[in-house]
Amino acid sequence: MFHEPMRPFNTQYRCYSVSMLPGNERQDVERGGKIIMPPSALDTLTRLNIVYPMLFKLSNKKTNRVTHSGVLEFVADEGKVYLPYWMMRNLLLEEGGFIQVESVSLPIATFSKFQPQAEDFLDITNPKAVLENALRSFACLTTGDIIAIKYNDKIYELCALETQPGKAVSIIECDMNVEFAAPLGYKSPSQESIMDTDMDSSSTSAADVEMDMRSFIPFAGHGNRLDGKKRASDSDNKVLRPLVKRGIPDYDYQVGTLKFIRNLRSTHSIDSEAKDDPFQAFSGQAQSLRSRRP
């Protein structure tokens, strides 16, 4: 006897976020990648030749957005399905919008690459372990989706940049290699930029030191003599600059040697100063207040 093959499950529903679910809010739905469908969908699926586990393709016909999910329960009101909020954002759906639900069969995942959407994801000590634990609530992955996982009462968003062997894969009971891309907006400083910055700062410092050495001369003020005579020429008393500039290391330094660098003075003796200077102490004339008697 010839049996006509059964058509795949393909139905349109109105979708709502998990917060609209009657009763208490279902956090288990919000944290994962599975939806809640009506009981009639289960009756239809049991009569069809579907492949387990049940996986579905969710399509927004208005925006041509597509994602994939599993099913958690069949307790929704007739004609309605409840989705995690992150899934509704990927599909650009509003509350009460129409969504096409179609049963599909997906290949087993072997590789996936995720990109965190914020830099605070780097604060997690073991991100692969956190992601592995979070993906237990997911049934499949779709390339381009931004999934949301919760860790330590904080929501982290990750974009599925790549999935192999297809753009949509099943992650139920599989061995999947995971890689992470740099978080969105994260800029890693390259070695070249660091070297350029160091060179700029060192060149600026050397220029400042050199300019400072040129402008600074110790005890370079002007002095005046008490007797009103001119002091010796500036060239005689000028303090010479040190041979080694301040702030610049001595690259010729040898281990085990000590150098005591002092300011160099001009080599002239005190006797030469005395010869050049005509000043003689107490060389004036004395005067008496009392006049001499005749």
Give 138: exposed, middle or buried? Use CB within 10 Å, 0-12, 13-18, 19+: buried
> For the domain that residue 168 is a member of, what is the CATH number?
3.10.330.10
Residue 151: which H helix or E strand, with range? strand 146-151
Query: Which pTM value belongs to this model?
Result: 0.60
What does the DSSP 8-state code read for residue 123?
G
Of 103, 138, 154, the position where a domain reaches its end is: 103
- Comparing 186 with 250, which gets the higher pLDDT? 186
- Is residue 162 domain-resident? yes
Q: Is the pLDDT of residue 192 over 50?
A: no
pLDDT at 248: 66
Query: Alpha-carbon distance 102 to 81, whole Å?
Result: 13
Query: Alpha-carbon distance 66 to 104, whole Å?
Result: 13
Reported confidence tier of residue 169, pLDDT bands at 50, 70, 90: very high
- Comparing 117 with 287, which gets the higher pLDDT? 117
- Whether residues 97 and 171 share a domain: the answer is no
- Whether residues 78 and 134 share a domain: the answer is no
- Is residue 248 domain-resident? no
pLDDT at 162: 92
Q: Is the pLDDT of residue 234 over 90?
A: no
- Is residue 266 domain-resident? no
* Residues 59 and 66: beta-carbon distance below 8 Å: yes
- Whether residues 168 and 93 share a domain: the answer is no
**Token pair of 76, please?**
């929704």
Average pLDDT over every residue of 249-278: 63
Q: Which of 122-126, 257-261, 269-273 has the lowest mean pLDDT?
A: 269-273
What Cα–Cα distance (Å) separates residue 17 from each residue in 29, 93, 145, 156, 185? 10, 10, 17, 19, 29
- Is residue 268 domain-resident? no
- Is residue 192 domain-resident? no
Reported confidence tier of residue 257, pLDDT bands at 50, 70, 90: confident
- Comparing 195 with 112, which gets the higher pLDDT? 112
- Whether residues 88 and 121 share a domain: the answer is no
Of 54, 83, 103, the position where a domain reaches its end is: 103
For tokens 């003796």, the residue is 269
Average pLDDT over every residue of 129-149: 90
pLDDT at 244: 47
* Residues 246 and 215: beta-carbon distance below 8 Å: no
- Whether residues 67 and 92 share a domain: the answer is yes
3-state secondary structure of 68: strand
Range of the domain at 36: 10-103
User: Considering its fold, how many domains does the chain have in total?
Assistant: 2
- Arithmetic mean of pLDDT over the chain: 78
Neighbours of 42 (CB within 10 A): 14
> For the domain that residue 41 is a member of, what is the CATH number?
2.40.40.50
What does the DSSP 8-state code read for residue 226?
T
- Is residue 247 domain-resident? no
Over the stretch 53-92, which tens digit does the pLDDT of each residue have? Answer: 889 999 998 989 999 999 988 989 899 999 988 999 999 9
- Whether residues 129 and 165 share a domain: the answer is yes
Neighbours of 58 (CB within 10 A): 25
3-state secondary structure of 265: coil
Of 180, 201, 217, the position where a domain reaches its end is: 180
pLDDT at 229: 77
- Whether residues 152 and 77 share a domain: the answer is no
Reported confidence tier of residue 3, pLDDT bands at 50, 70, 90: very low
